[in-house]
Amino acid sequence: MGRESSSTHRSTASAGVHRFTIDGHSRAARSRAFIWSKPFWVGGYEWAILYYPNGTANAGGEHASVFLALKNAGEAKVTTSFTFSCLQDPASPAAEERRKVVYATTFTSKACQWGSVKFISKADLVPASSSGCLKDDRLVIKCTVEVITTELTYGDDQDSSSFVGPPSDLTQQLGHLLESGDATDIAIDVGGIKEVKAHRCVLTARSPVFRAMLCGSMMESKETNICVDDMEPSVFEVLLHYMYHDDLPSFMKDACTEEAITMAQHVLAAADRYGVERLKLICESMLGKTMDVYTVCSTLGFADRHNSERLKNCCLTYMLKDRERLKAIVKTEGFLQLCKNSASVARELFEKTIQSN
């Protein structure tokens, strides 16, 4: 019998989602210029969304156009599938997607932009339209990008260097430890409401505050039971989930829901309290991306109370970037509360407003 050989073709994908918000769409539509989103990364490549409120030259003058642009192709050929859709109300837990278009193509340095020339009819992009594409003169475009990579591996007759190992499953295994309760060695009384069991070694590895409590000279270092006061059990469970999984729980993945935004505030405070800096940064990013005219003042006050300079600067930049937006913010109830409860922050905003004029 002749010698047998084998090979395997494997396709893998890296996916990401970017929401591009155009505030004051009617003003943007009065310009013939296009608008770039901030860059974002998927699959090791840098992308951006390119939006034409009045369409490209071949859009016929009746449609807005949108494209996905690859910023760092180099010599690569990047096989990609992507979708564009219009979110009717991104603040709603059940945000409805409209005008969805789907593409599968290959990006190169010479063909670095692909998209929809006739994405949305301009008739659907006026404030009085019943299409639902605009809310408060705001258009939100959701872009989902999936970068597809392939590799060919060989059987035993080839050099062992051709074999590709599986991805790390450390966080899945740690998560299973937490969920199963196997080998737990410490019990945490959260607010006198709920007892949570965990592993001393994980807590000390993930939080410098827990490390000081459990490995230093503090009384808790000798105990198998500790207390966490002034925190809801649901918030502590998210903190613990992150320590084991290095990720947020699934219900917080959609940053547009009210539940996720509220929890992000509580978890940011918990992350600040226990020195979990990466988690704090993730929550800051969530809150910075979801604030609007009506919530930015409360977010700014929250950032000031919890020593979040990054989020604070994000709020100030958002408020000062557009004069008409700032006028609208000053008229909100949130601004009155900011002046009442966080006078130093309101004064800083006033000084920055003067400096920007």
Same domain, 51 and 133: yes
Q: What is the mean pLDDT of residues 230-241?
A: 95
Average pLDDT along the chain: 84
> Can you give the pLDDT at residue 134?
83
Would you say residue 286 lies in a domain? no
pLDDT band at 164 (very low <50, low <70, confident <90, very high): low
Largest CA distance in the chain: 87
Examine the pLDDT at 152 and tell me if it is beyond 60.
Answer: no
CATH of the domain at 77: 2.60.210.10
Same domain, 197 and 107: no
Same domain, 357 and 314: yes
Would you say residue 158 lies in a domain? no
For 68-95, the pLDDT digits (tens) are 999 887 777 888 999 998 887 665 555 5
Which amino acid is residue 282, in one-letter code? I
Same domain, 219 and 134: no
Same domain, 141 and 274: no
Q: For residue 327, what are the CA distances in angstroms to 287, 290, 301, 324?
A: 22, 20, 18, 5
**314-327 per-residue burial string, b: 16 or more CB within 10 A, e: under 16:** bbbebbbeeeebbe
CATH of the domain at 310: 1.25.40.420
Would you say residue 111 lies in a domain? yes
Query: Which contacts qualify for 219-222: CB closer than 8 Å, 24 or more apart?
Result: none
In 3D space, the residue among 39, 69, 40 whose CA is nearest the CA of residue 52 turns out to be 69
> Can you give the pLDDT at residue 94?
53
Would you say residue 257 lies in a domain? yes
Domain boundary among 230, 254, 279: 279
> Can you give the pLDDT at residue 335?
92
Same domain, 339 and 266: no
> What is d(CA 208, CA 201) in angstroms, rounded to the nearest whole number?
12
For 201-225, the pLDDT digits (tens) are 999 999 999 998 888 766 666 778 8
Backbone angles phi, psi at 297, to 5 degrees: -70, -40
Which of residues 77 and 128 earns the better pLDDT score?
Answer: 77
> What is d(CA 39, CA 295) in angstroms, rounded to the nearest whole number?
25
> Where do runs of H (alpha helix) occur along the chain?
25-28, 170-180, 200-206, 208-215, 233-245, 258-274, 277-290, 296-305, 309-320, 323-330, 333-341, 343-356
Helix (H, G, I), strand (E, B) or coil at 229: coil
The pair of structure tokens assigned to 273 is: 């309290």
> Can you give the pLDDT at residue 12?
72
Are 187 and 224 within 8 A, CB to CB? yes
Q: What is the mean pLDDT of residues 156-161?
A: 50
Would you say residue 272 lies in a domain? yes
Would you say residue 5 lies in a domain? no
Same domain, 33 and 105: yes
Would you say residue 131 lies in a domain? yes
Q: What is the mean pLDDT of residues 288-307?
A: 89
Bridge partners (DSSP) listed for residue 120 = 64
**Domain span including residue 58:** 10-151
pLDDT band at 349 (very low <50, low <70, confident <90, very high): confident
Same domain, 261 and 295: no
Same domain, 33 and 70: yes
Are 148 and 9 within 8 A, CB to CB? no
Same domain, 270 and 318: no
For 40-56, the pLDDT digits (tens) are 988 888 899 999 998 88
Would you say residue 296 lies in a domain? yes
Same domain, 15 and 83: yes
Which of residues 91 and 162 earns the better pLDDT score?
Answer: 91
Q: What is the mean pLDDT of residues 17-27?
A: 90
For the chain, give the percent of residues with pLDDT over 90. 34
Helix (H, G, I), strand (E, B) or coil at 36: strand
Which strands form 225-228's sheet, in the order they lie side by side?
194-198, 186-190, 225-228
pLDDT band at 29 (very low <50, low <70, confident <90, very high): confident
Number of domains into which the chain is organized: 3
CATH of the domain at 250: 3.30.710.10
Same domain, 106 and 63: yes
Instruction: Give the chain's count of helices (H) and strands (E).
Output: 12, 12
Examine the pLDDT at 253 and tell me if it is beyond 90.
Answer: no
Domain boundary among 222, 251, 279: 279
The overall pTM is greater than 0.75: no
